[in-house]
Amino acid sequence: TQALTKRFLNVTGGCTVFSGNYSKGAAQTVLPYLLGSRWTESGADAATMNSSAMVILWGANVLDTRLGSEMPRRLLEAKRRGVPIVAIDPRRTATVAGAASWWIPCRPGTDAALMLAVLHVLLSERLVDLARVGSLAAGFDSLARSVLGQDGGTARTPGWAEAVCGVPAAETVRFARAWAAAHPAMLIPGFSIQRVRDGEETYRLTVALQLATGNFGVRGGSTGSLNNNLPTPRVGTMSAMRPAGQPTIPVLRWPDAILQGRNGGFPTDIRAAYVAGGNHLNQGSDVRKNTAAFDALDFAVCHELFLTPTARRCDVILPVASPLEKEDIGIPWLGNYLLYKPAALPPAGSARSDYDIFCELSGSMGAGGEFSGGRTAAQWIDTFLEASDVPDHEEFKRTGIWLAPDQERVGLEGFASDPTGRPLDTPSGKVEIESERYARVTGFPALPGWRDRETDPRWPLSLVTPKRADRTHSQLGDRSSPLGPADHALQMNPSDAARRGIAAGDEVRMFNSNGVVNVRVNVTDDIMPGVVSLYEGVWLQLDEHGEDRAGSANMLSDTGGTGPGHACVMHALPVEVERGARGSGAGVP
């Protein structure tokens, strides 16, 4: 839908588009500085886990929040082989319960501190092959000095981290030693750990840790990068006809761009929005600001299957064919394969596919030929296949899947096995743990590290807003529908509940300076003290006081951003929770 929408708007006069994405904005900002342009080859196919002697899931709940459809099976195979599986997560997730042998609860947004403490143990116990690391990376020695406090700063000891992360120092020591002893160890960082303030730092440190433990570019190990940073098989695409100098805004800041325009330093003044394939009002940070932004527009159009909160704010809603009602080629999240699906049935009622809607609109705007290139949707699919790696198109259409030859790719294995012969295209040719270029371009420190943040005593709890196993984001997130989540509730630890006089099943108000959410509470040991969790994706339901009645997570997030990536912050949100309905408490905005 994104490429189609841009193409339509570009051939009919132009538009402002998003840069970055909600998923991995902070990680994809820093990884190119560390790994150069081959950061896109730094992941690992799930099947390579069959060589792992340890798996570390750092904020990755892969049995629920899929990071590739093959991952659950491979993880459970590893468990059956007796491979130790460590899960670092503030919640006892399905992955902790169903696969992990070791759960380390860590306060959200503090992973960088724990990572530094693990490095401290590895370095002070001389568990790092410094010569090997030096052959692969530049600046690791500076990081080591800083971690050990030899540069005049605070030593990042496990004791220091305990106060920040809530992980006992002895546990950190035990974890670091186990990691160093297991070869190879696959670290899979969740996307969650970079969707926090200063989220850029975590992915600089996951890479540093896999270097330090000798697992970088090793089969059964990983580089510490996003696990799905691997190419997918070649397949044709439809150009977005992007003109040179197309104005862009970071996706997180779209409501600010609408509300502030050029006066706020944005490249354009935006009067209209065109939405296809997103529920941005609900899914972007700060739904109150998002609502105001939609209200400030002169005109908004949406292609939707459902009357989402975003669709409700649009002037025109075009009913769109569902994915089951159109032929398409599927590109996987992670994996060396392609999928094909025919339409299972024709579009219902007046619904049309996104492509057919755009063809007709561009036709009546005098740009029909330019948009369609003279092709039907089916002809485009054939064109995409012509330009693809798929050898036998009929076979592909019959079976619905094509597997490329190599199913067990190890990211940056070539570089790791021959760093001088096959250097990276970074300034040093190595992994840049210390990056002067990053410092120059972004104004942030060249070395990864931890920055203390002031905490506001009004919001003592830390909110995470993860995904649910049975939902994709806001799809099926309408609580007024029988298909919506009837069991939606806030997870809270018994100690936090007791302190607030809250009992299981109570209605609570959760709030911060951004807004108020009313929701039922689930008191449970499955979440660490000081942390609360609310699944993302539930559709906003505003009452007459401007409070949300459904439990919609982005009522409590803001558009402040991570760091240089200007990426979303959707975990570790500071909040307070009180018992009862509106008007029962003090200190509420």
Ligand X SMILES: Nc1nc2c(c(=O)[nH]1)N[C@H]1C(S)=C(S)[C@@H](COP(=O)(O)OP(=O)(O)OC[C@H]3O[C@@H](n4cnc5c(=O)[nH]c(N)nc54)[C@H](O)[C@@H]3O)O[C@H]1N2
Rounded CA-CA distance 233/339 in Å is 11
Give the nearer residue to ligand X in terms of CB position, either 160 or 191: 191
Give the dihedral sign, CA 5/6/7/10: positive
Using an 8 Å Cβ cutoff, are 157 and 120 in contact?
A: yes
- The least CB distance from residue 40 to ligand X, in Å, is 16
- The least CB distance from residue 167 to ligand X, in Å, is 10
Using an 8 Å Cβ cutoff, are 82 and 212 in contact?
A: no
Give the nearer residue to ligand X in terms of CB position, either 5 or 426: 5
- The least CB distance from residue 296 to ligand X, in Å, is 20
- The least CB distance from residue 330 to ligand X, in Å, is 12
> 184 preceded by cis ω (within 30°)?
yes
Rounded CA-CA distance 326/319 in Å is 14
- Contacts with ligand X by CB under 6 A lie at 1, 22-23, 58-61, 64-66, 88-91, 93, 106, 108-109, 111, 190-193, 195-196, 276-280, 283, 303-306, 308, 320, 323, 354, 464-467, 469, 471-475, 536-537, 553-554, 557, 570-572
Instruction: Kindly list the distances between the CA atom of residue 422 and the CA atoms of 94, 118, 135, 167, in Å, as whole numbers in the listed order.
Output: 41, 30, 12, 40
Instruction: Kindly list the distances between the CA atom of residue 378 and the CA atoms of 167, 355, 372, 387, in Å, as whole numbers in the listed order.
Output: 55, 11, 12, 15
Angle between helical axes of 377-386 and 354-364 (0-180°, round to 10):
110
Give the nearer residue to Mo ion in terms of CB position, either 23 or 50: 23
Residue whose C-alpha is closest to residue 472's, from 6, 4, 23: 23
Q: Which does 11 bind (CB under 5 to 8 A by kind): Mo ion, ligand X, none?
A: none
How far does the chain reach from its first CA to its final CA, in angstroms?
A: 39
Q: Which does 177 bind (CB under 5 to 8 A by kind): ligand X, Mo ion, none?
A: none
Give the nearer residue to Mo ion in terms of CB position, either 438 or 535: 535
Rounded CA-CA distance 126/515 in Å is 49
Using an 8 Å Cβ cutoff, are 573 and 531 in contact?
A: no
Q: Which does 280 bind (CB under 5 to 8 A by kind): Mo ion, ligand X, none?
A: ligand X
- The least CB distance from residue 556 to ligand X, in Å, is 8
Spatial CB neighbours of 148, under 8 Å, sequence gap ≥ 6: 120, 123, 124, 155, 156
Give the nearer residue to Mo ion in terms of CB position, either 435 or 474: 474
Give the nearer residue to Mo ion in terms of CB position, either 448 or 537: 537
Q: Which does 323 bind (CB under 5 to 8 A by kind): Mo ion, ligand X, none?
A: ligand X
Q: Which does 230 bind (CB under 5 to 8 A by kind): Mo ion, ligand X, none?
A: none
- The least CB distance from residue 28 to Mo ion, in Å, is 12
Give the nearer residue to ligand X in terms of CB position, either 218 or 567: 567
Q: Which does 237 bind (CB under 5 to 8 A by kind): Mo ion, ligand X, none?
A: none
Q: Which does 123 bind (CB under 5 to 8 A by kind): Mo ion, ligand X, none?
A: none
- Contacts with Mo ion by CB under 5 A lie at 23
Q: Which does 277 bind (CB under 5 to 8 A by kind): ligand X, Mo ion, none?
A: ligand X
- The least CB distance from residue 451 to ligand X, in Å, is 15
Give the nearer residue to Mo ion in terms of CB position, either 84 or 335: 335
Give the nearer residue to ligand X in terms of CB position, either 486 or 586: 486
- The least CB distance from residue 48 to ligand X, in Å, is 19
Q: Which does 308 bind (CB under 5 to 8 A by kind): Mo ion, ligand X, none?
A: ligand X
What are the phi and psi torsion angles at 554 (to 5°)?
-80, 5
- The least CB distance from residue 21 to Mo ion, in Å, is 7
| Alpha-helix residue ranges (DSSP H) falling in 36-139 | 71-80, 94-98, 111-124, 130-136
Detail the DSSP E strand segments found in 172-261: 185-189, 248-250
Using an 8 Å Cβ cutoff, are 60 and 67 in contact?
A: yes
